Amino acid sequence: MPSPDASAPQAAALRRDGPTTLVEQLAQRYAERIRARLLPAGARLPSVRECARRHRVSATTVVAAYDRLLAQGLVEARPQRGYFVREPREAAPAAGAAPRPSPIDATALIRSMFHRGEGRADPGSGTLPPEWVDQPLLHGALRRAIAGGASFGAYGDPAGDPALRDALAQRLADLGVAADAGRIVTTTGATQALDLVSRALLQPGDAVLVDEPGWAVEFARLAQLGMRVLPVARGAQGPDLEQMARLLHEHRPRLYVTVSVLHNPTGHSLALATAHRLLKLAEAFDLTIVEDDSYAWLAPAHAPRLAALDGLQRTVYVSGFSKILAPDWRVGFVAAPAAIVARLVDLKLLTSLSTPSLPERAVAHCLGQGLLRRHAERVAERLAAARGRTCALAKAAGCRFAAPPQGLFGWVDVGVDTQRLAEAMLDQGWLIAPGALFHATRRPTSLMRVNFATGQDARFWRAVAAQRR
């Protein structure tokens, strides 16, 4: 295999003249990655020969380093197979129970979001790059919110800032979703919205349908709440409705959580015919659909939303602003049937009391003045250019797209196991999102999610091409 591109970001080399031995340095490097969940439970460490070649040390050094990891309880040796990150000790699932994903798998992806500034690039990131954040827009919106009387002397309205909820009602109307301010509850990002809905509508042991591939954090969050996670294959038109019908008959799930527009990670959007059939299934089986529209501002306004077709009868609509304004602007919301709004507000009071009025009032200003719409148009234009460049680089590296490139993410087939690729790329300073993280149960896959905005570096794709040889 060719050596990595000299211009690519590199992990620190092992020091032969350092204060600690090569064995100690190598063992510490892998221990840090395991403890930071960058190597998830069950991941296979490089073979002794591969590790020795990669770090330019002897096989004896690698064996000694792996022995130290064994002694620390971080890895286990499997005869004839190699060394693996140890699985957490959990009770065996009951016979016939649905597989439960490990939350540790999801933290590998989430933790990668917090490694900016450490010399690592992140083509697998879930957000827009920091340089795409419109700082003057945010600063101006905050100044207007303060000048307009946003209060710091008391908790805000438990349901959320009234000005924001009014602005959100208008935004939803633009998408065809009829919901007045009384059916809207603001949250600390879309993640809290999803959590409140789950806690309001489910009990431990309930079955929940999810898309597969899908958002790893959602799988892990539901599993942590004690739910039975039932994956439904997600294709170009939407979920596999025949598989869904079988699961509805067999398990009577209470909830289906889905990203209908610009699905993460494939970029697919729900076809109108599939949406109608899905809503009929929901009615027949008393199923509530949670529609996560986190990428709404990057999507065509005409894309069909289940909440618009259903009128928020059997659907709950969730969205937020961190994907379009800035990752740290944790302003989200849920629009729900009137019957459950009070439950959502009560749960919000119990878990966070209220949400901060200042960022909510600032978002309301951006919405009401059309600033957010114009910002989204600029981002969409910039993203389209980035998508074209990233696609060209990926294809030149010998990769292919498993779904038509759309939105923020590409679902890329690199032709090799991406879990092992992730480890090799990390040694060169690149963080990627291997496809295994997007499945409810771990499985080898040659797919990975790439962020079009952060995946434009030609050095990254040259490194991928080198690993494919």
- What tens-digit pLDDT sequence spans the chain (469 residues)? 344 454 444 556 788 887 889 999 999 999 988 887 778 788 889 999 989 988 889 999 999 999 999 999 999 999 889 999 987 554 444 444 444 444 445 565 565 555 554 455 689 888 999 999 999 999 999 999 988 876 666 788 999 999 999 999 999 999 999 999 999 999 999 999 999 999 999 999 999 999 999 988 888 889 889 999 999 999 999 999 999 999 999 999 999 999 999 999 999 999 999 999 999 999 999 999 999 999 999 998 788 999 999 999 999 999 999 999 999 899 999 999 999 999 999 999 999 888 999 999 999 999 999 999 999 999 999 999 999 999 999 999 999 999 999 999 999 999 999 988 988 888 888 888 899 889 887 788 999 999 999 999 999 999 999 998 8
Q: What is the CATH number of domain 103-131+374-468?
A: 3.90.1150.10
Q: Which fold has domain 133-373?
A: Aspartate Aminotransferase; domain 2 (3.40.640)
DSSP state of 388: H
- Considering only CA atoms, which of 386, 401, 380 is closest in space to residue 451? 386
Element (H, E) at 420: helix 418-426
**Which residues 6+ apart lie within 8 Å of 112 measured at CB?**
38, 122, 124, 125, 431, 433
Question: Tokens for 21?
Answer: 């031995």
Q: Which fold has domain 22-85?
A: Arc Repressor Mutant, subunit A (1.10.10)
Q: Report CA-CA distances (Å) from 266 to 2, 212, 272, 403, 409.
A: 31, 10, 18, 6, 7
Question: Tokens for 162?
Answer: 């009234």
| Total-model pTM | 0.84
Pairing status of strand 255-258 against strand 207-212: parallel
Q: Domain map of the chain by residue range?
A: 22-85, 103-131+374-468, 133-373
